[in-house]
A and B are shown apart, each in its own frame.
Chain A
Amino acid sequence: MSVKQTFTFISRSPAYASQRASLCLEAALAAAVFEQEIHYVFMDDGVLQLLTDQNSQAIGQKTLSKLLETLPLYGVENIYVDTQALAKHALDSADLVLDAQPIDDSQLAALIARSDQVLNL
């Protein structure tokens, strides 16, 4: 078994109301520390995590988008965003804090098929 595995993280939930978005990110950062191959996909309402101008101080939480911006520093460069979800919310890449590659269902299917581990939150 190779030491380096391919991990795909699929983050499907918005930030703040539940822990799902931040748990998914924490798991990816932990995997990144072990220098694994990481793909991070914002799918469905998960794309809302990427909106610019977030400030969650007033609700007593850390601003998730600020933490998402650290992904490239952890060597996580393969970041994708579900194009259908962006369209559904009438958003485009200028609304997002990270440069993400567009991904559709068939590209995500192919990514899952070549991953050793998939975390879907």
Chain B
Amino acid sequence: MSDSLFDKEGFLRDLSAWSEPVAEQIARAENISLAPSHWEVIRVLREFYAEHQHSPATRALVNLIKRELGEDKGRSVYLMKLFSGTPAKTASKIAGLPKPDNCI
């Protein structure tokens, strides 16, 4: 797979080029091994993006996961464990979505 699929920061350039193997590849580059707990977040993110055309920043991601997957998972600590220090950025990247605005 060619590197030109990705931009400088490792985000997929063409959103339609995403597939589960591509997600695995992006995750490996982030030293993350995808487990079911990752995939359910990725699925929620991709459904949200399909509806709202927006990659959520951390605050909105936490609330989105809380709404879709419950209180236990809708916490920034939980998401930081899954997706390292900047969950909104890393989870969007693995889900094949654009980088969220206002990443802090």
For residue A26, CB closer than 8 A to chain B, the reply is yes
Partner among A30, A67, A75 whose Cβ is within 8 Å of the Cβ of B52: A67
Contact status of A67 and B102, CB under 8 A, knowing A73-B64, A74-B60: no
**How many B residues have CB within 8 A of the partner chain?**
15
Q: A33-B59, A75-B59 are in contact. Are A26 and B101 (CB under 8 A)?
A: yes
Give, as a whole number of angstroms, the nearest-CB distance from A26 to chain B: 7
Cα of A62 to Cα of B67 in the assembled complex, Å: 24
Q: Check A34 against B104 for contact (C-beta < 8 Å).
A: yes
A32 at the interface (CB under 8 A from B): yes
Q: In the complex, which residues 46-104 of chain B have their Cβ closer than 8 Å to any Cβ of chain A? A: 51-54, 56-60, 63-64, 67, 101-102, 104
Interface residues of A (CB under 8 A from B): 26, 29-30, 32-35, 62-63, 66-67, 69-70, 72-75
Nearest 5 CB-CB pairs, A to B? A73-B60, A33-B102, A73-B63, A66-B52, A62-B53
